[in-house]
Structure 1
Amino acid sequence: MPSTEDEKVELSTRTLVESMVREDGTIDAGELYAVAGALGMTDQQVRLCVRRLADDGQFVQEGRGRRAVLRATDRARHALDPNVDFVRLMYAQDRGEVPWDGVWHLVAFAVPESARAARDALREHIVHLGGAPLQGGLYVAANPWEDLVEAEVARLGADDCVTYLTSTDLRVAGVTDPVALAARLWPLDELAQAHRRLGRIARDRLERLRAPGALDQTRFLTIAIELAGEFTRAMDPDPLLPPELLPQPWPGAEARELVAQCWREMFQSPPPEPTPRLFRLYSTVIEEVTAHLPG
């Protein structure tokens, strides 16, 4: 198995900054620089990123250097909230609690050229939700997604341009077998590769977490942010296909279980305080997931 020494987690400085936001919307700059250093980032990288985020209205900086405090604006705090429902669905699927009902969910849209921005935004949202293109303006997903698509359509004011339908006998280029369709419509090899990488990194971090010695604040945050960043990297493009449509064993399930074991190690005792707000947002899911782990 390849060594994780050659697969260090590469996080953007922005991802690091956003991950460090505390429950009250603040970031301690000294703590930020310490974690950045542990991740191999320079002070200059952090300063430039903070300046860009401040210029963009995402954060307000009070003070200078390592003694500064960054405050996330309301707009930034809303955008930073992870979608815990998707995380909950991932683990429920892995446990076999959400069997596929054989229904394909399709969305078709024809937004005029005069509303190109809305059309592009809708396409991006549909792909983010796991939709695969069938032909121009027609996308398919294996999970119910109508409510999520409708919410974005309403926000964009494109209700008159969208059609929803379901099918139990989808055929693409003569292919009707659901497993073969999934392999044709989604890049499963690429997704599997990303999950294997996540699994290797999670296994390495799990060994570090189980090593003797207490975690200080910087080590705790560094591992947590590495896991969150790599988890996001693997999960963002994942359409969350039901296990019935995936090759078995699917590496995503193993990777997610390893990440959950890391979470359990980190939360078996109260984590260093104050912790980033993403831990509170994930706390319920973490409890649900780790309750199903052996041992």
Structure 2
Amino acid sequence: MTSPYDIEEIFPDDSVRLPRRQSGNSPQGLTVTLLADYTLRARAWLPSAAIVALLAEAGVSHAGARTTISRLARRGVLEGSRQGRNSSYRLTTAAALNLAAGGRFIVAAGAVDEPWDEQWTLIAFSLPQDEVAQRRELRSRLRWLGCAPLYDGLWISPHDVTDKTRAQLAELAFGAMTVFRARHVDLDTSTGRHPIDAWDTAAIAGHYEAFIRRWRPVLPDIRASRITGLEAVRARTEVMDTYRRMPILDPRLPLRLLPSAWPREPARDLFTAVYDGLAGPAEDHVRAVASRFTTEPLTDVRAHTVADILVGLQGAWESGTESGTESVSQSVSQSVSARGSVAGSKRSKD
């Protein structure tokens, strides 16, 4: 499954060299997290001016917002409509499917500790040193597949290889890859390295703990309905933007290999409480902003819950998938990792 977000946002210091990282959230990444939360289920349209206004509330300049919309449209993430000076945008079917799958991946990762057969998937590859772009793409894809480098050229995962994963690896192998399943043999020596050491578990636990420290104090205000309007949208966007990194940092690593009281489940429960608890007031604010730029009803602008994401957000639009979905999805994931979702209304003003 290809995530809808850029890998460098999660592994900024990885050996994979990707586009220059900006301070704070990128406008495109912010656009995904913000607008997919309220338009994905129905592929709702929003006025382009409403998109700009929502991004402006998050600190994105008008020029920056319009540039973001244009780039996402060029890359196949958005489709637009114009009537005179009025413009609107919505997600393409391919991007919406990609994002719906990505959402399920994010929220399902910490739900349960799946049974583990103690087998590891090992991926060994060898590429010429001058194949820089191929190395980049391969390592980035391996990260998204939940793998980590045990040694240079040897990546591992505790999960079996699905048919879809096998097909993705085949596209990237370039005839220089071997994949196999094996059980770890403990050498009981000071020089032996356990496979779990491919992940920095102390750092991962630190991310979870920081997340819990940040959001646990907010719960009483959410339960008392004291967070509304713009504040609700900002908080809901931030909690999703932060939590979505967790399943890549901790790709369902078996609990038996991790320190006791691993904070994955408490972090997920807290995320659900914040995200769902702010759904109502955040939706009200997004509709209020959008209503300034259109007279069309905004009933399709809806905030979904974690349960909605798990069930599946794709609606009637899924059966109408246009031809070329696979190529668009590939373009989305490679160019912007499908990280943008902006939608637009049928009648709007720039």
**TM-score in same-fold range (> 0.5):** yes
Deviation track 1:227-252 (CA, whole Å, cap 9, x = no partner) reads 21111133333232111122222233
Deviation at 1:187, TM superposition (A): 1.6
Which of 97, 110, 121 aligns to 1:90? It is 110
**1 CA distance for matches of 2:127 and 2:307?**
36
* Correspondence for 1:291: none
CA contact (8 A) 2:148 2:198 kept: yes
Contact 2:236 2:282 in 1 (8 A): no
8 Å contact kept, 1:105–1:165: yes
Report the secondary structure of 1:91's partner residue. coil
The answer to whether 1:15 aligns with 2:29 is yes
Task: Indicate the larger mover: 252-261 or 104-113.
Answer: 104-113
Match of 1:187 in 2: 200
List alignment gaps of at least 5 residues for structure 2.
Answer: 1-22, 285-298, 313-350
Q: C-alpha displacement at 1:283, in angstroms?
A: 0.9
More helix, by proportion: 1
From 35, 38, 49, give the equivalent of 2:54.
Answer: 35
- Matched residue count: 268
Q: Which runs of 4+ in 1 moved over 6 A?
A: 112-116
Query: Does 2:300 correspond to 1:274?
Result: yes
Aligned twin of 2:260: 248
Q: How does 1:101-140 map to 2 (within 5 A)?
A: 101-110=117-126, 117-118=133-134, 120-140=136-156
CA distance in 1, matches of 2:224, 2:251: 35
Partner of 2:219: 206
What is the aligned partner in structure 2 of residue 52 from structure 1? 71
- State which of 216, 230, 241 in structure 2 corresponds to 1:229: 241
Does structure 2 conserve the Cα–Cα contact (< 8 Å) formed by 1:30 and 1:67? Answer: no
Q: Distance in 2 between matches of 1:74 and 1:115?
A: 33
Greater Cα offset, 258-267 or 241-250: 258-267
TM-score (norm 2): 0.62
Q: TM-score, normalised by structure 1?
A: 0.72
AA matched with 2:116 = W
Query: SS state of the match for residue 122, structure 2?
Result: strand
Moved more, 117-126 or 225-234: 117-126
Hey, what's the Cα distance between the residues in 2 that align with 1:105 and 1:89? 18
Superposition RMSD on alpha carbons, in Å? 3.8
Give per-residue Cα distances to partners, 1:68-124, cap 9 Å, x unaligned: 42233344334433151453232112xxxx243322222223456797655543332
- What amino acid is the match of 1:88? A
For 2:121, what is the secondary structure of its paired residue?
Answer: strand
Deviates more, 1:76-85 or 1:191-200: 76-85
Deviation of 1:55 (Å): 3.8
Q: Does the 8 A contact of 2:283 with 2:302 survive in 1?
A: no
Q: Tell me how far 1:162 sits from its aligned partner.
A: 2.6
Structure 2 contact 233–282 (Cα < 8 Å) conserved: no
Q: What is the deviation of 1:35? A: 3.2
Provide the secondary structure at the position in 2 that maps to 1:70. strand
- More relative contact order in 1 or in 2 (CA 8 Å, sep 6+)? 2
* CA 1:78–1:99: 2 relative to 1, 3 Å: closer
Report the residue type matching 1:54 in the other structure.
A
